[in-house]
Amino acid sequence: MNYTLEKLKTCRYLYWGTFLFLGFLVLLGLASSAYMEHEGHYVTGMNNQIVWGLPHIFAVTLIVIASGVLNIASMSSAFDKKLYKPLAPLSALFAIAFLVSGLIILVLDLGRPDRLIVAMTTYNFKSIFAWNIFLYSGFFVILSIYIWTMLDFNVSKFSSVVGKLAFGWRIILTTGTGSIFGFLVAREAYSTAVLAPLFIIMSLLYGTAVFYLLLRIISKMQNITIPSEITVNIRKLIIIFLLANIYFLILYHITNLYISKQIAIEKFILLDGGGYTTMFWLGQVGFGLLIPLFFELTNKDNRDFPLTLTSIMVIVGGFFAVAVIIIGGQAFPLNIFPDHTIIESSFFDNNIHGYTPSIYEFGLGIGGTSLALIIILILITNLKFIPAKK
């Protein structure tokens, strides 16, 4: 296919309108975070029981998406699919934007964000968290080089090598993100090896959905049509990833059911966890997997609208999936005394922990997400990322 890359050339009002709207949300996010840091975390819904909350759901979702959106570029570079080559720069750009914003949310939620420099200079190499900081910065560097090789024809011969490197790196990166939870020996919900592949497959699914959605928006703004081969292909991918996701989700829960000490937490998530059970079945499974699957299986003629709807649902479902993993895993009390029932404790050892996020956490999450979008908007307006027919 013959193509060139162009800048975004949309009407000025639309551009500035979007820019100001997103910018406003970013400022709101910053304000929320500043307030949280100034007052202390007691103003949030997080406490000593639920120590990671909404910001972490946003951040993990964004980071998972970051590695997933790169999928499109990987298919062109690592699997040599010519079809996706024109879209590869966009895909890499999305990856950077989501990665950066996910990390910024994480940092702004720290108890001492002012000590970021400590986090960047003192490493505990036993900590998977510290390794993740490496993985993230490495990913950032590789992606930047990758984009450069794609945009600058002088160095384009390296593009495929760097692309393959990026592909490998992102698999490790998602495994690393999943392992953050996998290393928590005492939290029953997380102690299974299936969590890492589950995260990889989640990233592929959400990333593809996000990519399609953004592509749709950009093509609307740029007034171009998405070639039908792309739509056909993306629909196929989404179906495959949905099925794979369902498969790994079943595998994850079956494995847990086989480990006898994990039956209690399974029962909690699947049956009697109240809000968490609802989030799992309605949000993660129904809204995020089954209904989209149904939509796509019936979408035989590859229409855009159902695919858009599917993508939105998948992303929302993904958000719930991460929420179930992060919050659900903490809500269930720790098994400190096996074979005993805790009947009294001043520290809520015998309660299912509730979590009601505050507006500030939500603001931070939305602000971070908007940051990703505004980065994309600024870069595609100023650099040539959008493919066009020659």
Cβ-defined contacts of 238-241 (< 8 Å, 24+): 238/205, 238/208, 238/209, 238/212, 238/292, 238/296, 238/307, 238/310, 238/311, 238/314, 239/293, 239/296, 239/297, 241/201, 241/204, 241/205, 241/208
Q: Which of residues 44-73 bind other proteins (CB under 8 A)?
A: 47-49, 51-52
Report, in Å, the least distance between residue 332 CB and other proteins. Answer: 12
Burial 295-326, CB ≥16 within 10 A → b, else e: bbeebeebebebbeebbbbbbbbbbbbbbbbb
Q: Phi and psi of 5, rounded to 5°? A: -110, 140
Distance in Å, CB of 127 to other proteins, minimum:
5
How far apart are CB 249 and other proteins at their closest, in Å?
22
**Is residue 118 involved in binding other proteins (CB under 8 A)?**
yes
260 binding other proteins? (CB under 8 A): no
CA distance 116 to 118: 5
Instruction: Tell me if 129 contacts other proteins by CB under 8 A.
Output: yes
Helix axis angle for 54-77 and 195-222, nearest 10°, is 80
Q: What angle do CA 73, 61, 268 make, to 5 degrees?
A: 135
Q: Round to whole Å and give the CA distance between 213 and 220.
A: 11
Tell me the backbone φ, ψ of residue 354, rounded to 5 degrees.
-95, 160
85 near other proteins, judged by CB under 8 A: no
Residue type, 243: L
- Which residues in 303-342 contact other proteins (CB under 8 A)? 330, 334-342
Q: How far is the CB of 49 from other proteins (least distance, A)?
A: 7
- 105 Cβ contact list (under 8 Å, min separation 6): 55, 58, 59, 62, 364, 365, 368
- The 337-366 contact track toward other proteins, x by CB under 8 A, reads xxxxxxxxxxxxx-----------------
| Using rule CB under 8 A, residue 158 touches other proteins | no
Q: How far apart are the first and last CA of the chain?
A: 9
Rule CB under 8 A: choose which of 5, 119, 213, 290 binds other proteins.
119
User: Which CB, 135 or 293, lies closer to other proteins?
Assistant: 135
Question: CB of 32: closest distance to other proteins in angstroms?
Answer: 16
Judged by CB under 8 A, does residue 123 bind other proteins? yes
* CB nearer to other proteins: pick between 48 and 298: 48
Helix (H) or strand (E) holding 281: none
Residue from 5, 10, 30, 37 binding other proteins (CB under 8 A)? 37
Sequence length of the chain is: 390
Q: How far is the CB of 177 from other proteins (least distance, A)?
A: 13
If one asks whether residue 300 binds other proteins (CB under 8 A), the answer comes out as: no
Q: How far is the CB of 357 from other proteins (least distance, A)?
A: 14
274: left (phi over 0), alpha (psi -120 to 50) or beta: left
Between residues 4 and 345, which has the closer beta carbon with respect to other proteins?
345
Q: CB nearer to other proteins: give 110 or 316.
A: 110
H or E segment to which residue 6 belongs: strand 3-6
Pick from 41, 85, 170, 235 the residue near other proteins by CB under 8 A: 41
Q: Determine the Cα–Cα distance for residues 98 and 376; give it in Å rounded to an integer.
A: 9
Out of 13, 42, 154, 300, name the contact with other proteins by CB under 8 A: 42
Judged by CB under 8 A, the number of residues near other proteins is: 51
The two three-digit tokens of residue 135, written as one number: 């993985």
Nearer to other proteins among residue 48 and residue 154 (C-beta): 48
User: Of 225 and 350, which CB lies nearer to other proteins in the complex structure?
Assistant: 350
Interface stretch with other proteins, choices 59-67, 88-96, 145-153, 184-192 (CB under 8 A): 184-192
Q: Token pair for residue 374? A: 């505004």
Closer to other proteins by Cβ: residue 52 or 139: 52
Query: Residue 217 CB, nearest distance to other proteins (Å)?
Result: 34
Cα 342 from Cα 357, distance rounded (Å): 27
| Site of interaction with other proteins (CB under 8 A) | 37, 39-42, 47-49, 51-52, 106, 110-113, 115-116, 118-119, 122-124, 126-130, 133, 180, 183-187, 330, 334-349
